[in-house]
Structure 1
């Protein structure tokens, strides 16, 4: 569990997006770009959360169904469905580019230190793996995600999911 940010901390800029009725955020520094949803090249025998591969400016990028990662049912894409192309640092300290498929992107938000809170103990396990802080917003809360936590356990599959000669790992 993460402690709230100190009062002197710099404001946090995030991309806020929705999965079902819930709102989540990622630090803007890890988001390369936001794309419209596109059909993916299916990877044989891939896990349920791996939709397939898409081409992003000449790079083979694995598409991850973030709904499935959160234990929610898969839904067909809509006109609001977006792909957040993000760059994470793997456990081996190598950059990994993936596309997170989300239901909708809301905005870019800046959070003051007093709006960032520790995740309360709810008795469930999912928050400790994905959500590192709760961001207070008028009308509700936004879960601040830890991208490394989201990718925990996926890394080996993601780095092996590209066609020969292609790479999802940026060099």
Structure 2
């Protein structure tokens, strides 16, 4: 011990020795991968279509609440619900797009949107949770996209489980056809 005091009598030499020993025994940091840009949205199903809404365009997801029918409304207007003191008109998205009513089941949900004064709920077959897609898998929607859905599709994402179409709730909310609920 006395020998090491003589060898490192100067504090700087002692610190350099400690640093060198630490570096020689330290394991390297794990290899860092470059972060890949991701896009996120809420996945849902309407009939056989897997759609995804941009994350900020859905404000809430509900089970189908108790409804009151709206006389004189189009068939795809399911009804109106009282959700925490707010009246929420609920539309059947498949009914609106294809004229075919959604068969309400245990997995059916209501996506709530609130955009430029349009506060409404969309009945869908199922919500599949938040989905993440690598930005580089973004593609233009194919020409073969269903004509009823195409006006609301921004693009698609390729994923290991297939294609997901990005459905714009904002475009839907701005559509004169969607806003015309009286029959």
TM-score under structure 2 normalisation?
0.71
> How many residue pairs are counted as aligned between the two chains?
145
Q: 1:34·1:82 contact (CA, 8 Å) conserved in 2?
A: yes
Q: Point out 4+ residue stretches in structure 1 off by more than 6 angstroms.
A: none
- Residues in 1 aligned to 2:141 and 2:102: alpha-carbon distance in whole angstroms: 28
Q: 2:103·2:125 contact (CA, 8 Å) conserved in 1?
A: no
Q: CA deviation at 1:72?
A: 5.2
Give the alignment partner of residue 109 of structure 2, picking from 82, 91, 116: 82
- Which residue of the partner structure matches residue 32 of structure 1? 59
Note the 1:22-171 alignment, pairs <5 A.
Answer: 22-71=49-98, 73-89=100-116, 95-122=117-144, 125-151=147-173, 152-153=175-176, 154-157=178-181
In 2 relative to 1, CA 10–123 (structure 1 residues): closer, same or farther, beyond 3 Å? closer
- Residues in 1 aligned to 2:171 and 2:152: alpha-carbon distance in whole angstroms: 5
Consecutive unaligned residues of structure 1, counting only runs of 5 or more, are 1-8, 90-94, 159-171
Give the structure with the larger strand fraction.
Answer: 1
* Relative contact order, higher structure (CA 8 A, sep 6+): 1
- Residues in 1 aligned to 2:158 and 2:82: alpha-carbon distance in whole angstroms: 36
**Deviation digits for residues 106-164 of structure 1, max 9, x if unmatched?**
11012221121111212753343121111112121111012233231222549xxxxxx
Larger Rg: 2
Consecutive unaligned residues of structure 2, counting only runs of 5 or more, are 1-35
Give the structure with the larger helix fraction.
Answer: 2
Q: CA deviation at 1:22?
A: 1.5
- Residues in 1 aligned to 2:145 and 2:169: alpha-carbon distance in whole angstroms: 22
